[in-house]
């Protein structure tokens, strides 16, 4: 399957190795959480490097008294200011990726949670929580970059719904970061609204969807939410 140009699959050897470890059914909850965090650090570094640039923010002095020019980060294509960035974790699994992105970014950013689940029979996304603030869309856009984080993109329905919600909110530039995706799922998200303003980075891609409802990635990493939050069998 030929994937859209706005999709990047990480080529980092450590990403591939850690995803291989994450696939194992023998991984404990503690190990699973650590692997998701470590993978998120690697993917955050790679993904943010594609959409951010350095911008000067004044001068400072080193401990030895030498002056230097300080830099922070801004969003590519945004001329004024540093560029407003928000993180959008998809509940509940996306929460496990937030700390890594906060660690990589040089300054605190707003975090807006979206609660979406996949209805079991139709596999369609259902929104149950949304804390995006209201905004005057005719005025300044709510942010210059929204970063959606979710460990898995299976059918793509949940991530697609998140992108739609953010675009309705007025966001023009969206970065979607996942540890693992299916070919079908990431292509679906990448083509939402013609793909305009959307960039996707995934750690790896599995070709097939399967499982009891046909909505799980094969071989995949299982239900990562259950693995992270010890709700297996619920």
Output the domain CATH number for residue 162. Answer: 3.40.50.2020
Residue 1 falls within a domain, yes or no? no
Query: How long is the chain?
Result: 234
Domain boundaries, position 17: 7-229
User: Tell me, what's the pLDDT at 82?
Assistant: 55
Residue 2 falls within a domain, yes or no? no
Report the alpha-carbon distance of residue 12 to residue 16 in Å, rounded. Answer: 7
User: Tell me, what's the pLDDT at 136?
Assistant: 53
Distances (CA, A) of 203 to 38, 124, 153, 212, 233: 12, 24, 11, 25, 27
Give me the number of domains the chain comprises.
1
Residue 175 falls within a domain, yes or no? yes
Report the alpha-carbon distance of residue 179 to residue 30 in Å, rounded. Answer: 17
The residue to which tokens 């995803």 are assigned: 19
Beta-strand (E) ranges in 110-226? 110-111, 114-118, 125-130, 145-149, 152-153, 174-182, 198-206, 208-210, 216-218
Report the alpha-carbon distance of residue 142 to residue 171 in Å, rounded. Answer: 6
The residue to which tokens 């959409």 are assigned: 51
Report the alpha-carbon distance of residue 160 to residue 176 in Å, rounded. Answer: 10
Report the alpha-carbon distance of residue 171 to residue 163 in Å, rounded. Answer: 9
Three-class SS state of 90: strand
> What is the torsional sign of CA 104, 35, 88, 215?
positive
Report the alpha-carbon distance of residue 226 to residue 117 in Å, rounded. Answer: 13
User: Tell me, what's the pLDDT at 141?
Assistant: 67
The pLDDT profile of the chain, 234 residues, written as one tens digit per residue, is 689 999 999 999 999 999 999 999 999 999 999 999 999 999 999 999 999 999 999 999 999 999 999 999 999 988 765 579 999 999 999 999 999 999 999 999 999 999 987 777 776 778 888 888 865 554 456 899 999 999 999 999 999 999 999 999 989 899 999 999 999 999 999 999 888 999 999 999 999 898 777 788 999 999 999 999 988 654
The distance from CA 145 to its chain's CA centroid, rounded to whole angstroms, is 12
User: Tell me, what's the pLDDT at 230?
Assistant: 87
Three-class SS state of 184: helix
């Amino acid at each position: 399957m030929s994937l859209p140009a706005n999709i990047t699959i990480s080529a980092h050897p450590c990403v591939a190795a850690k995803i291989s470890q994450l696939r194992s059914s023998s991984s404990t909850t503690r190990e699973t959480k650590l692997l998701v965090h470590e993978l998120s650090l690697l993917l955050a570094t790679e993904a943010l490097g594609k959409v951010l640039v350095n911008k000067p923010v004044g001068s400072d002095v080193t401990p030895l008294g030498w002056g230097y020019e300080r830099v922070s980060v801004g969003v590519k294509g945004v001329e004024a200011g540093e560029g407003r960035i928000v993180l959008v974790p998809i509940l509940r699994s996306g929460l496990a990726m937030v700390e890594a992105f906060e660690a990589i970014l040089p300054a605190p950013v707003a975090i807006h949670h979206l609660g979406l689940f996949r209805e079991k029979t139709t596999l369609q996304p259902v929104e149950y929580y949304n804390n995006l603030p209201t905004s005057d869309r005719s005025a300044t856009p709510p942010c210059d970059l929204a970063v959606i984080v979710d460990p898995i993109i299976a059918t793509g329905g949940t991530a697609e719904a998140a992108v739609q919600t953010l675009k309705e909110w007025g966001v023009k530039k969206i970065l979607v970061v996942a540890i693992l995706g299916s070919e079908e799922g990431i292509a679906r998200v990448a083509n939402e609204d013609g793909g305009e303003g959307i960039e996707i980075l995934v750690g790896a891609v599995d070709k097939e969807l399967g499982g009891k409802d046909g909505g799980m990635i094969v071989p995949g990493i299982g239900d990562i939410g259950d693995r992270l939050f010890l709700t297996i069998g619920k």
